[in-house]
Structure 1
């Protein structure tokens, strides 16, 4: 009854179905890996909110080399952990990261290098400020001055961003679109750590004009949904092949004959109205 499945045409159908199902399973597995990775990021974000701050060097090793050198990137498992560091802000090399949105308002994140006792620096994201009143989103705002003297900061370790494009200096401040530490380090007169610190506490206290940059969780459940979507598609493709094959087998066996057409002439004529 099912010998037709061994014909070249049906073997081709089977091969295409198996390839499609295999690809869908692999896509589901890929989304599962992404779900696990994003879940791990969310777990680190949550854990960092309550952990005791560790010394900066526990997460961001000291850079080696001269001016413009960049230290190793933070280990993945140490991103979003809380650290503390003490140094002096270098306001002359403040960095404005433009095009950052908070509550649907486009503004700037302000990074200032914190120069440490060993002569290297770590970039500290001091927070977000809106553009100048009545000015466009690209007009430099009035940046609150960084505290003078020794400063102790506490914050989260964040990895360098990629795809930053160029870095320019305008009105005494560096400007960039992304926090691309290797590109920013080229403009600085000291070696820089391979990650930056997102500030959540400072002594002396930070200027109230800054708004804290919120840490958003990754949408890991979207990936989890894609896992099931691809796996269900794989099962449906196999089920579809079996259903079509069964219909063909019943047709060849004469079990699914089309119904006899109705003989309209044999039906009594409807009475006509007077």
Structure 2
């Protein structure tokens, strides 16, 4: 083992320290991606479970808003997102919200949110579905199918408010936005609003067939798992590379393997006169 004494020199100790730090960072990155994989897997499982489960009363999943008009209630607990719920109320079509720039079947159009006002005066935003724009372009306001009058029973899945909420404005008398930020939308409405919205699954009376169900995409958790494997392999390769370099240096010290020739140190041959 005397041939490996060079590992105790400052140069090789520095190389070892850098190697261990690099490997530790790569292991940490792998663990971070593993946490993201587990988190996205749980989201996908909740999405699938929401499709299969029997609906429960909405108040079993969402806390009622306690503020005044124009305020939003608390956001749902993480485990309650995608829960399938049922609730009865009356649609308020005068405050329908058009969400532009939304895609279904590779086409750009609008999602239509209509407040469902409950008997206690609070409301929940219901995403009734996707409709194409009017002729004239992707931003041309569509003809929105009328909401049923009277009591309506909705079955839908709890969807948390979207991040990066965009500005809300009125165009041709209708509220319009690009992102479904419930607290921001609540400020435009004359009643307290629940802190999440519902993706409509079923409705009594039946929903207008013009609406296309809003597609729900699963999180790409396998991409994160691939990153886990990648970073952990990099960590192993870094350690293996250090071991390979140390073994090669030891073989050179023992004379088993020749050292590389420094061409710059060789004398330049003289040119015959």
TM interval, shorter chain, is: over 0.9
CA distance in 2, matches of 1:211, 1:165: 23
In structure 2, the residue matched to 1:190 is 191
The alignment status of 1:115 with 2:131, answered yes or no, reads no
Residue 61 of structure 1 corresponds to 63
Q: Which residue of 1 aligns with 2:87?
A: 85
Q: How many Å separate the matches in 1 of 2:185 and 2:259?
A: 75
Q: 1:159-197: CA deviations, max 9, x gaps?
A: 000112211011111111100011101100011101100
1 CA distance for matches of 2:258 and 2:219?
Answer: 56
Displacement after TM superposition at 1:251 (Å)? 1.1
Structure-2 residue corresponding to 1:47: 49
Moved over 3 A (4+): none
1:112-156, CA deviations, whole angstroms, 9 ceiling, x for partnerless residues? Answer: 0000111010000000001113x1111111111111111000010
Q: Indicate yes or no: 2:238 matched with 1:244.
A: no
Q: Secondary structure at the match of 2:116?
A: strand
**What RMSD in Å do the two structures reach over aligned CA positions?**
1.3
Distance, in Å, in 2 between the alignment partners of 1:251 and 1:155 is: 72
Report the TM-score when normalising by structure 1. Answer: 0.92
For structure 2, the 5+ residue unaligned runs are 261-273
CA–CA separation in structure 2 for the residues paired with 1:66 and 1:101 = 34
Where does residue 265 of structure 2 map in the other structure?
Answer: none
Aligned with 1:72: secondary structure? coil
Equivalent position SS for 1:196: strand
SS at match of 2:184: helix
For residue 69 of structure 1, report the CA deviation from its aligned partner: 1.2
Q: How many Å separate the matches in 2 of 1:248 and 1:147?
A: 81
Instruction: Measure how far apart 1:257 and its partner are.
Output: 2.0
CA contact (8 A) 2:124 2:193 kept: yes
Contact preservation (8 Å) 2:126, 2:198: yes
Displacement of 1:258 = 6.5
SS at match of 1:21: helix
How many matched pairs? 259
> Which residue of the partner structure matches residue 210 of structure 2?
209
